[in-house]
Structure 1
């Protein structure tokens, strides 16, 4: 489930990134196309003059209206785009309205007819619309010797050799360049005009064409835009890939290093600031939060297991050492007495005494092995139990009546029915009571209480004694925690509490220990049997 959720989040994030990249790419393509179209508008404006028809001009409802004998804004826009001016004339070619600043008041049919770059329309109302190419070189030549800005005056010999110029940096013109204009204005790199002087020299005016844009540049512009767009797309894709790589690569690399540390049994948790804030993944990396949580949980669990394994290894070594000692001590006694009996003649009383000692040591070894077998069966769930509804209060009172030191036991209880194996809990009672009597001062009391709640029953045994450390309490019920020493006056195998804990757990119960009122209190909790 976690893998499906994480995969869905990563896939969704990748789709969003792709859509973002797609939107940026399409938007940039449209912007580039719009730029190309807007830049190509001036070169195509001149063609609008050839598309103008008389019926398109003049009436209020036409595409290019003329109102109150005035050239409209639409026509002025067309003229500006075509590098020229419009002049509105009456039937006698007198100027009604014009865009020119220095034009004549009246035109002649000869002037209009000989203008190679002009356009002329006769409107429905009898008026005429005349277009003149705004040629700065011709204006400079007409006003010579008056100086016109951004123009250059040159003089050539009849055979085409430049005699004088106002700008030596300009290349001399070819006489072929001085022919009348036959192409679109945007096709020429510069404006030129010429006239023959009385002395036979040729006076030439030159001006840079600010709107120079030859039609064959369309393909070049397309190629340029194509190259620019793909360079932009390449850089964008490179940056976008780098950004995505860092966004996904950093956490993935972090998790891989984390796994490598785990494989090397390094369970430390490293949370670098560039990936985490206040102990949690930053917002941009939260798609990996399931991986982070699982690895953190795994690190904690492995660290705990490693610690427990080390403790178990230590306890096992202690247990093996203690068990070896517990078996070796009675075996040494049996071996020693057997050697004595074989080497010397003893009285019947001595022989009987040695035999009793050997029998006691043999019984101890047999009990120790039985306890070890029983703890194994309980731990692996193969011990047979016969549960039945039992009044725990009645069962314990019967047990106490057979205890030799029952005068030291103070009991307070109440009726509490539980489902238990009576024989197994006889052993539980025996282990807890005898343990409390052994490890408490002589003539002190052992307090036993039995209390029930709506769902549980608690059986507690308290005895006076030195407090235990937290580590000792935690390992108190571990079968590896303590071995026994048959040389001590206290008998038993030392596995009583481990067996008790296993019996309680097999009955779905718990057993705990704590320091209480200057002593130790053990508490068993079992589910209450409801009738």
Structure 2
């Protein structure tokens, strides 16, 4: 997987984690609100139920009797009333009272009731039986107010109050209990239609004198809709604000964390690049990124290993190039020194002989003049060859030499070359006689002059030079082997380097010293290769060309 794909995948994982956290927090917030609402005891107004909603709460037993469900009985109690299941004749079939009474008695006793027609034969009645009604019944007996200590205790336990209003609806007297806000005549008569919206419940009785006796007490089942709604809205708004505050803080922290995860490696790589710019190739030692034991990036930064390896390869390349440049500069200095020496020596000879010839102090014989002229000619020829070879190497480097390839039988060409040479130490070529290659004959002869000539010149007289031809992996192989003392390793490593001082630095003018560098370039121009191996028992030169 490429680095870009890994980073994209990592960002995708981070986004999924971020989204998952937000989802869980949002889900938890709304779950809390819903649980809070459900945890509150929800009380329904039993009068608002429809008949089809009630049928499932009434079950007929095998013996023909009827029972109410526990939830339905609980709801009736919460509405401060009792249920009566009656038939068409008015007979009570089931009730939540302790004993079954006749429906006629129930109807006479209570005015506040609700009726549901379940079937043609069954009716359900809900009769309110508020505690305030019971208190009024105990207080007003036989058209007289009878308040005793025991009744006062009962009134006090439920914070009930007893008041008297005149015929005009004005409160005249508070007989017992706390002082409540006076009621209007309409509030006394109508009260609230919704039982759970009543902050207090009242019961009244018109006395013989025309005044109204009122008993009032707090409604223990007071559950107004508006305060509950406001409370829920407050919690919702608070939850939204808390959620956005959490989202803000979480986003900042998450961004800092992502910046840390992606920024630290970036700073590390920038630091490493800065070190490379000042030729410091060692990697920075950052223990927060790398494991002290293995030296590798820690697991969370492992995706950047490819970048780190690329920078390591770049550092090695730059370091190697710097070493090569230093080495090349040294070789060039050595080469310039050698070249200066090679040019200075023949120039000194030419200059010296010219001074001698131009001197009038001594008369030279014709033989001496001829010898001087011959030496000056040889030195000039050497200098010209040195300059030409140097120019030729640069022409080869810049592909300025045109090759005129022709089809040659390598064995026949090599044998003709040996016969044309005046070197007695070269053995007759051996090997495959049917290998055909495409070469520039003139340039290849120059290669042989350098390779075979070096083998002859730099080995003791009488040492044999062997030539062999064979085919390997569709390549034509030419082997030149001598039995000389070998080439020193330092010279072998720089054998084909034109900056290496391999030119003639002695008084013997036998060559320019650039022949091997030119030979290597010519072989490579023919898509070939050259390999030199040397030891104390001789030197082995292998030249390969593709068989076309």
Q: Deviations over 1:395-452 (max 9, x none)?
A: 2212222333323546323222111111111111110112112222333222221112
Question: Equivalent of 2:27, from 9, 27, 30?
Answer: 30
| Structure 2 equivalent of residue 481 of structure 1 | 500
3-state SS, counterpart of residue 496 of structure 2 = coil
Q: Deviations over 1:465-487 (max 9, x none)?
A: 24543x64342211111242342
| Structure 1 equivalent of residue 370 of structure 2 | 352
| Structure 1 equivalent of residue 249 of structure 2 | 235
Q: Deviations over 1:300-347 (max 9, x none)?
A: 333332222222112111111111111111111111222222234222
**1:50-449 maps to which residues of 2 (within 5 A)?**
51-57=48-54, 59-60=55-56, 64-66=57-59, 68=61, 69-72=66-69, 74-75=71-72, 88-89=83-84, 124=118, 125-129=122-126, 175-176=179-180, 214-269=228-283, 288=304, 291-292=307-308, 294-343=310-359, 344-345=361-362, 346-409=364-427, 411-415=429-433, 416-449=435-468
Q: Deviations over 1:37-62 (max 9, x none)?
A: 232235582245453234421x24xx
| Cα distance change, pair 255–130 in 1 and its aligned pair in 2 (3 A) | farther
CA separation in 1, counterparts of 2:345 and 2:442?
31
Contact 2:79 2:195 in 1 (8 A): no
Post-superposition shift, 1:231?
A: 2.1
Question: Please, what TM-score do these two structures have when normalized by structure 1?
Answer: 0.73
Post-superposition shift, 1:177?
A: 9.6
User: Within the alignment, does 1:515 sit opposite 2:534 as a pair?
Assistant: yes
3-state SS, counterpart of residue 466 of structure 2 = strand
| Cα distance change, pair 293–487 in 1 and its aligned pair in 2 (3 A) | closer
| Structure 2 equivalent of residue 163 of structure 1 | none
3-state SS, counterpart of residue 443 of structure 1 = coil
Report the more deviating stretch, 442-451 or 291-300.
291-300
Q: Which runs of 5+ in 1 are unaligned?
A: 139-143, 146-151, 159-172, 194-203
CA separation in 2, counterparts of 1:451 and 1:133?
124
Report the more deviating stretch, 459-468 or 84-93.
84-93
| Structure 2 equivalent of residue 149 of structure 1 | none
3-state SS, counterpart of residue 420 of structure 2 = coil
| Cα distance change, pair 292–53 in 1 and its aligned pair in 2 (3 A) | same
Q: Deviations over 1:67-102 (max 9, x none)?
A: 54433255368679xx6788544569999575xxxx
Superposition CA RMSD, Å: 4.6
Post-superposition shift, 1:210?
A: 13
Q: Which runs of 5+ in 2 are unaligned?
A: 136-148, 151-155, 163-176, 203-216
Q: Deviations over 1:250-307 (max 9, x none)?
A: 3333332333233233334569676568787667556656644543443333333222
CA separation in 2, counterparts of 1:309 and 1:177?
107
3-state SS, counterpart of residue 419 of structure 1 = strand
| Cα distance change, pair 411–184 in 1 and its aligned pair in 2 (3 A) | farther
| Structure 1 equivalent of residue 207 of structure 2 | none
| Cα distance change, pair 89–268 in 1 and its aligned pair in 2 (3 A) | same
| Cα distance change, pair 492–235 in 1 and its aligned pair in 2 (3 A) | same
3-state SS, counterpart of residue 406 of structure 1 = coil
Post-superposition shift, 1:507?
A: 0.4
| Structure 1 equivalent of residue 512 of structure 2 | 493
CA separation in 2, counterparts of 1:442 and 1:209?
131
Report the more deviating stretch, 428-437 or 272-281.
272-281
CA separation in 1, counterparts of 2:378 and 2:198?
127
3-state SS, counterpart of residue 476 of structure 1 = coil
| Structure 1 equivalent of residue 143 of structure 2 | none
CA separation in 2, counterparts of 1:400 and 1:25?
89
Contact 2:196 2:221 in 1 (8 A): no
Post-superposition shift, 1:28?
A: 3.1
Contact 2:84 2:94 in 1 (8 A): yes
CA separation in 2, counterparts of 1:440 and 1:419?
31
Question: Equivalent of 2:15, from 15, 18, 25?
Answer: 18
Report the more deviating stretch, 13-22 or 455-464.
13-22
Contact 1:330 1:486 in 2 (8 A): no
Contact 1:448 1:461 in 2 (8 A): yes
| Cα distance change, pair 313–109 in 1 and its aligned pair in 2 (3 A) | farther
| Cα distance change, pair 430–36 in 1 and its aligned pair in 2 (3 A) | same
CA separation in 2, counterparts of 1:31 and 1:65?
38
3-state SS, counterpart of residue 429 of structure 2 = strand
3-state SS, counterpart of residue 45 of structure 1 = coil
Aligned length: 477
Report the more deviating stretch, 404-413 or 288-297.
288-297
